[in-house]
Amino acid sequence: MICAAIAFLVVIVGITNKAGYALWMIPSLICVSILCIWSLFSLADCFLQLHRKYGWVRCAYMAMAPFAIFASYLTTVAFLTRSAQAVYFTWMTTAGFIEDAFFILLLPATAVVLNESK
C-alpha cells in the first residue's frame, strides 16, 4: 500500500514537471467537489430553512466562505493555463458562499418578510 502511494506520487510529480500544474488539479478537484455538494445543501436550505432551526448550519456557512476562497485559489492555480471556465465557476461560487454567509449571519432568526399576508 505504501509502495503504491509512493509510486503514485512519483508519477504525479513526473507529470507535474512535464505538464505544469497537474499536481494542483487533484486537491482542486476534491475542493470543487465539496463546493458542489455544499451548493446542493445550500439550495435545500433555501426551502427547508435549516439555518433557522440549527445553529451549526449558520456556523458551517461562515466556515465555508474561507474554504471556498481556498478552493478558488487551488482551482486558479490548477487551471490557469487550461480552462478559464473552471476558474470563473469556482470564483463565482465563492462569491455566492461569502454573500450567503454574511446574509445569514446578519439576518436575525425573527426576520420579517415584507408584504406578508395576515
39-68: pLDDT as tens digits: 778 778 777 877 778 878 877 877 777 777
Residue 35 has a CB neighbour count (10 Å cut-off) of 22
pLDDT value at 1 more than 50: no
> How many alpha carbons lie under 13 Å from residue 78 in its C-beta half-sphere?
22
Place of cell 510529480: 13
Q: Say what the pTM is.
A: 0.50
